[in-house]
Homo-oligomer: A and B are copies of this chain.
């Protein structure tokens, strides 16, 4: 589905940015790059910065006008760094992603349009867009690198797409889940640990049963929030068992005196 999103770069000056944009796109699973009158393309610098995303560069469509670049799209989202005289429906990158997904789901083609490095999109170009997208940068230093802007918008699209697919946004989530969740200790195991811990703390004389204060409550709060796995619990229990052996050894020696 993500192949139905095209990234449109208008009048890009630096070929390195085209390469960086191609890499960002491919990282996020996009492949359709359209270049409107690039100043310097094809270019070795673009290939270098693409760092392996040369297939995206090779397949890039070079056109003369924004209108051509937008052929067949059902929604056009244009990045804008500035306030415009005519206010336009303005989205943040996350809203841009959800709007894009809505159109993709209905079989539409989506265009994400990025302007020139220094001047952005002209008012005329912005008026060809259905929505303006603003990356919420620091107003005092607001202009992102072109490839960085492509990275942010395509990242948000991928996050939205993964969520929609029901796919984890985290690699190895299965493993982590297996590790940290499906093998989490039960309440009973945790309670058994607290009993063992309390006995050991008394044995090493860290906890005075006459004056327990809030010690066990504090330890409960700490370990309670940690989502302890069974493996970790075995380690914690092992530490207590070895500690008690030392205590018993010491007591034994005392008894021998």
Contacts and interface: CB of A to CB of B under 8 A. Distances in A.
Interface string A187-216: 000000000000001011110000000010
B83 A175 contact: yes
A94 interface: yes
A176 B89 contact: yes
Interface string A130-164: 00001111110111110110011001001100100
Count the copies. 2
A138 B239 contact: no
Interface residues of A, number: 79
Interface in A95-140: 134-139
Interface of A: 20, 23-24, 26-29, 49, 51-53, 83, 87-94, 134-139, 141-145, 147-148, 151-152, 155, 158-159, 162, 168-173, 175-176, 179-180, 201, 203-206, 215, 218-219, 221-222, 225-228, 231-232, 235, 238-239, 242-243, 245-247, 249-250, 253-254, 256-257
